[in-house]
Amino acid sequence: MAKKKAEAKTKPVETDKLKNKDYLEELARLHVELVKLQEWVKHKGLKVCIIFEGRDGAGKGGTIKALTERVSPRVFRVVALPAPTEREKSQMYLQRYLPHLPAAGEVVIFDRSWYNRAGVERVMGFCTEDQVRNFLDKVAPQVEHALVESGIILLKYWLEVSSEEQTRRLTARITDGRKIWKLSPMDIKSYSRWYEYSRARDDMFEATDTEYAPWRVANSNDKRRARLNIINDVLNSIPYEDVPREKVKLPKRQGPGDYREPDYPYKFIAEKY
């Protein structure tokens, strides 16, 4: 299977931060288009699989939230698997992921995916080098080719963040009480292994950036720009049209008849705001 040479540079280009007002306006417009895409996916029975990968702090979670916050969770389904159990560790590696692939009319989003083997598992020593090479050279390319051949639209995104920006974001998780839950022991351990992750990323791109399932690299130093750019790329990657819908008109509400509001001591919450 022919491999596609990566066209995008993985080093993020520094840009001015996007203003929140401009971001929200454009995000609202893109959300309307995502709803149109959602209806088209249901109408045509499309099967879409979107993978998000990147270093800790690259912005995967925020991007997925921006992508899904205005669409139906019954259509846009997010998969974020926990650490494998002892039983799951004994299974074929991809066995945990295959049941979550999309059926007709679904968009499945993997918040990290089978590429854990090429990244965190490799760098943190949770698998052997032989297992990594088997995954990169045989398993991932062949399985992804089979997915695409079966009709699944497969989009793979790598969020690239600079070392300086990653440091800033992980530091914020330590000092900001709203973000402390985002900081795991694994984040702390992996932070010091920047260049090991770089080598793992490079090997992953070399082996799995194929013509049928290319890696799409997004500069995520500015989270707002990254979210907009990725959503725009998703919309441009899946041709869709407006699905005809009947005009909706609210019916006339029934009269009260003999109904009377009860004199009930409702326990209202305190109105602090």
User: Does the residue 6 lie in any domain?
Assistant: no
* pLDDT tens digits along 149-175: 999 999 999 999 999 999 999 999 999
Q: What does the pLDDT read at residue 6? A: 46
The answer to whether residue 66 scores a pLDDT higher than 70 is yes
Q: What does the pLDDT read at residue 1? A: 46
The answer to whether residue 2 scores a pLDDT higher than 50 is no
Degrees to nearest 5, angle at CA 84 with 147 and 172: 95
* pLDDT tens digits along 13-64: 555 789 999 999 999 999 999 999 999 999 999 999 999 999 999 999 999 9
Q: Which domain holds residue 38?
A: 20-237
User: Does the residue 248 lie in any domain?
Assistant: no
User: Does the residue 253 lie in any domain?
Assistant: no
- The model scores a pTM over 0.85: yes
Q: What does the pLDDT read at residue 186? A: 81
Give percent of the chain with pLDDT exceeding 90.
Answer: 83
* pLDDT tens digits along 234-261: 999 999 999 998 899 999 999 999 999 9
User: Does the residue 207 lie in any domain?
Assistant: yes
User: Does the residue 201 lie in any domain?
Assistant: yes
Q: What is the Cα–Cα distance from 226 to 233, expressed in whole angstroms?
A: 10
* pLDDT tens digits along 117-132: 999 999 999 999 999 9
The answer to whether residue 3 scores a pLDDT higher than 90 is no
Q: What does the pLDDT read at residue 5? A: 47
User: Does the residue 261 lie in any domain?
Assistant: no
User: Does the residue 224 lie in any domain?
Assistant: yes
Q: What is the Cα–Cα distance from 249 to 73, expressed in whole angstroms?
A: 25
pLDDT confidence tier of residue 73, bands split at 50, 70 and 90: very high
User: Does the residue 96 lie in any domain?
Assistant: yes
CB atoms near residue 22 (< 10 Å): 11
CATH value at residue 82: 3.40.50.300
Task: Report how many domains make up the chain.
Answer: 1
